[in-house]
Amino acid sequence: MALNIDGVLFYLVEFQHVKPGKGGAFVRTKLKNVRTGAVIDRTYRSGESLTEVRLERRKMQYLYNDGSTYNFMDTQSYEQMELPEEMVHDIKLYFKENMEVQVLMNKEEVIGVEVPMSVELKVVQTDPGFKGDTASSVTKPATLESGLVAQVPLFINEGNVLKIDTRTGKYLERV
């Protein structure tokens, strides 16, 4: 969700509805400035109105990274779009060539990029596991093909393909 607050566009990161025992209910929010990336905390009481900005979701395909920009292609019009690294900084380690993502847009301005809830990435480097260690909950670090380092169970070996949760960066299962 995006909001227009005093002429500045903010992306809603998190919200919490609070109903104290005494007094009126209110909503605590974390808002991210679309242009600067700064995160602010705001509290709103019931009855206050906000201006919601309508966002368009475009299905795009991630093509490649050329160092400073990330390149995407619209799957319907085949137009290509370059986004700076700052726009995808926190999710760039989940990108895999030719994967589909959702690009959030307000008119022609890009607000952000959403990756799927989970991605499948190949393990390129990890320490070998030991026989008999498969039943324990001990983990080891594994470097995946995108550069992401995730904690995985000891039975995972190089070459395995893993499903990773993009919200937390944690291992879900072996594919």
Whether the model pTM is above 0.75: no
Domain boundary among 84, 114, 144: 114
Task: Answer yes or no: do 128 and 156 share one domain.
Answer: yes
Give pLDDT, residue 94: 92
Contacts of residue 12, defined as CB under 8 A and 6 or more positions apart, other chains included, come to 1, 2, 3, 29, 30, 31
Q: Please, are residues 70 and 85 in contact by the beta-carbon 8 Å criterion?
A: yes
CB 68, CB 88: distance < 8 Å: no
Q: Which domain holds residue 21?
A: 2-53
CATH number assigned to the domain comprising residue 23: 2.30.30.30
Pair of tokens at residue 100: 């589909």
Give the whole-angstrom CA distance, residue 102 versus residue 80.
Answer: 14
* AA letter at 50: L
Average pLDDT over residues 57-66: 93
The pLDDT confidence band at residue 132, using thresholds 50, 70 and 90, is: low
Task: Give the closest residue to 161 by CA, choosing from 64, 96, 98.
Answer: 96
Predicted pLDDT at 107:
83
Whether residue 134 is predicted with pLDDT greater than 70 in this model: the reply is no
Residue ending a domain, among 114, 140, 162, is: 114
CATH of the domain at 158: 2.40.50.140
Q: Residue ranges of the alpha helices (H) in 32-128?
A: 85-88
Are residues 127 and 156 both part of a single domain?
yes
Q: Starting at the earlier edge strand, list the strands of the sheet with 109-114.
A: 80-84, 69-74, 56-65, 100-106, 109-114
Distance CA(175)–CA(172), nearest Å, equals 9
Is 43 in the same domain as 6? yes
Number of domains in the chain: 3
Does 39 share its domain with 77? no
Are 49 and 60 part of one and the same domain?
no
Boundary residue ending a domain (92, 114, 136): 114
- Residue 61: CB partners within 8 Å, gap ≥ 6? 72, 73, 75, 98, 99, 100, 101
